[in-house]
Amino acid sequence: MTKISNIISGTMGWGSWGHNLNLKEMENLIITCLELGINTFDHADIYGGYTTETDFGKAFINLGINRSDVFFISKCGIQYPSKKRKLEIKYYDYSKEYIIKSAETSIKNLNADYLDLLLLHRPSPLMNEDEISSAIDYLKKQGKIKAFGVSNFQFSQIELLKTNCEIKWNQIEFSLTNNELAFNGLFDYLMKSKIKAMAWSPLGSYFKLKDVKSKRIERVLKLLKKKYDASEDQLLLSWIMNHPLNILPVIGTTKKERIKAAIESLNINLDKSDWFSLLVASQGYKVP
């Protein structure tokens, strides 16, 4: 089985929800990721209003890359109003039929033969554990998915599903500026349950908001940049990866220099005192 890379390329912004990359640009970006050591691409059926997987799949097949050299993640479950689906509201569907159909559609769109990892995109109050486990069992037996996981799930929701489903991953929103999950028991549960984690939006709001929190963090980062000879984004990624849960960041950038910088952040080993200095700056108070 293909091994997941320590940095994951998130494709949400590759298509119409972001940079509107054309076919050649997607091809070049895939090549750039692979050359720099990123073999893992994070998708979801809804990205680009159900169009980005198809666009990516065209670029992927054009390049003639060996399927076993890449690791494809996709997510399903959200019913998203778009040009492709004329829905009145956004909602979740985790029926057996829909999970199977969505996974098969993603595989087809990506020209992928199978998914290395299928995630349920967000928890639904109407989840039926038997239906979900039946769908995952079918997809695995058919060789259409290699592993199963969840995204944005808390421990009680994972407990509901893992009776009959082997859950390998939980993709969560986690960053220095959004660090609550490190304190509500979820990370302890994941480590105890041997469930791995990846983090979307790993830079958080630091570059988006110039609020009091960001200014506190900026003062600490200014000192650490000199100490570690690193950029702000590298230090923010390192802060995540220095957690014992061994969280893998899902980066959304399409710029080569920033992808390269993210890879280089793997070499930063933050001192514990520096890790806590950043935490204190984010929270605005000393540890108890």
CA distance 142 to 86: 31
CA dist 226 and 172 (Å) reads: 30
In order of 104, 129, 149, 182, 196, the CA distances from 199 in angstroms are: 25, 25, 13, 12, 10
Burial label for 86, CB within 10 Å (0-12, 13-18, 19+), is exposed
Q: Where are the alpha helices (DSSP H) in the chain?
A: 23-36, 47-50, 52-63, 96-110, 129-141, 155-161, 186-193, 212-228, 232-241, 256-264, 272-283
263 close to 230: Cβ distance less than 8 angstroms: no
- Non-local CB neighbours of 138 within 8 Å, separated by 6+ positions: 96, 100
Question: Which of the following is catalytic: 47, 50, 206, 228?
Answer: 47
47 is catalytic: yes
49: Cβ contacts below 8 Å, ≥ 6 apart: 16, 17, 80, 82, 83, 84
CA distance 61 to 72: 14
Active site residues per annotation: 47
